Amino acid sequence: MKFVLVTGGVVSGLGKGVTASSVGVVLKACGLRVTSIKIDPYLNTDAGTMSPFEHGEVFVLDDGGEVDLDLGNYERFLDVTLTRDNNITTGKIYQSVLEKERRGNYLGKTVQVVPHITDAIKNWIESVAAIPVDGKEGPADVCVIELGGTVGDIESMPFIEALRQLSFSVGQDNFCLIHVSLIPVLGVVGEQKTKPTQHSVRELRALGLTPHLLACRSAQVHLSPYLLPTCMWEGKGWQNFGFGIFYIDTNHYLDCGLDAAIYCAAQVIASVGKYKGETFSILPCPEPKCSSFNSTTAKFAEVSVCFNFFLHNKASSFRSEPLPTSEVCREMNLREAIYMMLSNNIAIICFSIAAPPDLQAWTKMAETYDNITNSVRIAMVGKYVGLTDSYLSVVKALLHACIACSLKPSIDWIAASDLEDDSANLTPEAHAAAWETLRNAECVLVPGGFGDRGVKGMILAAKYARENNVPYLGICLGMQISVIEFARSVLGLERANSSEFDTESLDNVVIFMPEGSRTHMGSTMRLGSRKTIFQTHDCLSSKLYCNPEYVDERHRHRYEVNPEVIGALEEAGLKFVGKDETGKRMEILELPGHPYYVGSQFHPEFKSRPGRPSPMFLDKRGDKGDREGYLPCVVVIKFIEFFFPSLHLDMQATSQDEASECV
């Protein structure tokens, strides 16, 4: 087993998570099997009780694990199925050690951070890394580990020590460290400074870890030779391992046929955190020799093999710099660089089976997207629109659907509270703008959420979509909202509500699930992959899924549609076409006669993949004009991401022609 560790320095939000995913993508494209682990140093046992404004969305796995959103990136990038154990937290580690202490496993010894906590971390990593996540037998070839937080944080110290011990126990040939850092630019003089990165690397080295690769993040390009990347393997003859200058436009990266993960690491760093939405370039050394950058970053790093990739921002655009030729790009052998770190003799290790990465499918994706001329305007009405990471998986699912339906999204976030009547008095301009945006949309999506803030606005959005034949998709809470609105407007139950929002109402059409806990919040919801059985094949949802008997989708909810009102709702015209295995829990609703009015209790976005977009995000445009095809349902996108999970998926296999056979 080979380990690739990704750490971050100076500040957070530089792109560690997507860098780790992208490195995994390229290694997988070379024919290697890859698994991933995310380490979160916080004391929470998992991410289930965190606010979306704290860490973005809570991603749900098949086994019901509520984990960091980076595991969603791993699943989409690598097209794998992870488990809750692939997300390590301080809370989990300390809980497991304390349970062992209570059982007497330590035989009366004094339980300490070293060695007991660090041993627990190492054992957890090695055991989880050996679990296959790609549906094949046997362990993966490479395990990519992301250490959350920033080097120097107090809470990450036990993990850094454990990883230092791990690097020693597995050997230098089996361990590679990539450090993502920042090269700030002083606004007054416009000069880039490597000092923060020097201190970050020094801090990391003081803790016993030395980076093999540096990904240096900066706000702008600088052609000073002191800031050009370099490669050197001190005392081992790699000083002449050189590169050529090239630029990468993050929105069109496939024509160049890169031989490595360079473009992946570059794009991902520019697509997250502070620099989201900005394109950038990487400038390696213009001559096949080491530059004077050795005297700055590389010298302070003192690494065996040091690749300093210089990443800078530019104005946001899809195309701003010419792409390099294939001949120049083939010199960019980061793949071989990683191999070097993981063995002194590539020819005799497992990496000898690796082939050059096959990027033809990605090239086709980019060309397909570039040729799209039609667009669709979509409104997403949510509670957490102030932080787009709160709906990250919905964003990705929309992107996957956009490629499949040959449409470019023109989508707007709408804060649900801005649609409410109270907003008309308090913030009239925001209220008017929200309604104007909603009326101009071609479809509406209401995603999941918790709490009563903004619920009135969501109900108004659902009512508008139903009464005006605007395509509507409600996910989790969005489905419950559509039930509440229908009960109020059609059944005449003016006080129809959810017991989550009004415990006193006698007309609650959404109720607390009996098996749920009212005293404990963590891991007490209905979680994970569960079956939804179609009650009829004569419905849109079943046809979108190609008429199976059932589907397995991931859930995360503690409230459900009240079984006692199902009869009245269906008599009034609302149909529940998908139910759980007991037949008592509603999973999918549709409104016959409406172009597309669908609600799902599950979260279809968690299983969406590029090349395999979630069927729930696709809809026949029907009477919405002459443009036929599939209609992705929602989310505003300021930055279109082209780095998709699996390099082996054939986008054309799920194009309109094939998908239309299912509808």
Q: Which of 146, 603, 633, 641 is catalytic?
A: 603
Residue 287 is classified by DSSP as S
Give residues with Cβ within 8 angstroms of 97, minimum separation 6: 111, 116, 117, 120
Three-state secondary structure readout of 50-76: CCHHHHCCCEECCCCCEECHHHHHHHH
Query: Which pair of tokens denotes residue 253?
Result: 């990266």
Beta bridge partners of 192: 185
Place of tokens 């606005």: 457
Residue 140 is classified by DSSP as -
Give residues with Cβ within 8 angstroms of 625, minimum separation 6: none
- Decide if 520 is catalytic: no
Q: Are strands 2-8 and 142-147 parallel, antiparallel or unpaired?
A: parallel
Q: Report the C-alpha gap between 178 and 4 in whole angstroms.
A: 7
Handedness of CA 292, 297, 303, 305 (dihedral sign): negative
Q: What backbone phi and psi angles, to 5 degrees, belong to 635?
A: 115, 135
Q: Which of 290, 476, 539, 633 is catalytic?
A: 476
Q: Which of 3, 340, 338 is nearest to 145 (CA)?
A: 3
- Decide if 603 is catalytic: yes
Q: Which of 161, 500, 587, 605 is catalytic?
A: 605
- Decide if 137 is catalytic: no
Q: Please tell me the number of Cα atoms within 13 Å of 253 on its side-chain side.
A: 28
Q: Report the C-alpha gap between 230 and 162 in whole angstroms.
A: 30
Query: Which pair of tokens denotes residue 420?
Result: 């409410």
Query: Which pair of tokens denotes residue 152?
Result: 């120097």
What does each C-alpha distance from 135 to 35, 76, 82, 88, 297 come to in angstroms? 12, 15, 11, 22, 42
First to last CA, the chain: 45
Residue 101, class by beta-carbon neighbours within 10 Å (0-12 exposed, 13-18 middle, 19+ buried)? middle
Identify whether the C-beta of residue 487 lies closer than 8 Å to the C-beta of residue 565: yes
The catalytic residue positions are 476, 603, 605
